[in-house]
Structures are given as C-alpha cells and as structure tokens.
Amino acid sequence: MQMANDELEGNTLTVYSFIVRADRPVGTRDVTRGAELSSTSVAFRHLQKLENMGLIEKNSYGDYVLKQKANINGHVWVGKNLVPRLMFYSFFFMGAFAAEVGIIMLSLVIKGLVVQSSFYFLTGMTAVAMALFLAEGLALNRKLKPKHESEAT
C-alpha cells in the first residue's frame, strides 16, 4: 500500500507497531500508554489516521483492531515485530566475518594452510560492513520505539 508507506512514520508508525504487537483490540488509553504518547487526544488522532489509511478498524465495542499489515519501506515483519532490513544485512556480514575469522584461526593451527595478506584486508572490510549495517539498523530500530514526546508528528 503506497499511501501507507508515505504517511506511516513517526508517532503514527509507533502507534501502528504497538497495535500489531498487541494482537488484541486496543482502546485509546491502551495506545496512549503502550506507544508512550502525551495524551489520549494525540493517540486518537493517530488512530483516526490509521483508520483512514485502512490499516485498522473499530470493532463493535469501539476498540481498534488490526485490519492489515502494511509494507513499511526498509523494514520486514518478523512475526509481530518490525525489523529494519539493514539488520538482516548486518547478520549476513556477521556470518561472513565469523567464517573469515575461523579460516584465519585455522591457519594458525594447521601448518600447511596459508592465508594471503589480501584475505586479512577482506576480513577487515567485512567487519566494517557488518558494523555499518548494524549501526544503521539499530538507529532505524530506535525510531520505532515509543518516545516521550509532548507533541505528535
């Protein structure tokens, strides 16, 4: 849903993520506490926005329930958690780095195994890539966590 990608950010994304994780009908007060918003009116405004986007709906009791999971640019749903795609890239490089370090360690133990100097450079580059993807992924992940804000975005 393209419209969701354009408008689903900031506190609206935090509210939406809370509703997905809650996996039950939630009221305005639940959202205020769960998404750590400043007031129920702020929560209500974000709930209305999500309802207008077609992502949530009100049930017969007036609580909000998930209608559909939206595709969020740069993120992947893993169960009920929204994970930055960059985290998966960092895990790939983490595996490659572990394998490269393993080969270097084997070269210290096995007498005939010689590691060329370019392999050390490759291992360093893999470590840098892993660190960069991990740092960026964690920064994106922090944006999804509730913030103590007095104003809504």
Over range 118-146, report the average pLDDT. 91
Taking the C-alpha atoms of residue 109 and residue 136, their distance in angstroms, rounded to an integer, is: 36
Would you state the pLDDT for residue 149? 41
How many other C-beta atoms are found inside a 10 Å radius of the C-beta of residue 2? 8
> Does domain 2-66 sit in CATH 1.20.5.510?
no
Per-residue model confidence as pLDDT tens digits over 25-56: 999 999 999 888 989 999 999 999 999 999 99
Stretch 135-141: mean pLDDT, rounded? 90
Answering whether pTM is above 0.75, one says no
pLDDT digits (tens, 9 = 90+) for 71-94: 888 888 888 888 899 999 999 999
Domain locations in the chain? 2-66, 81-144
Give strand pairing partners of 81.
78
Query: Does residue 145 register a pLDDT over 90?
Result: no
Residue 12 confidence (pLDDT) above 70: yes
In the structure encoding, which two tokens stand for residue 65, read together?
């329930």
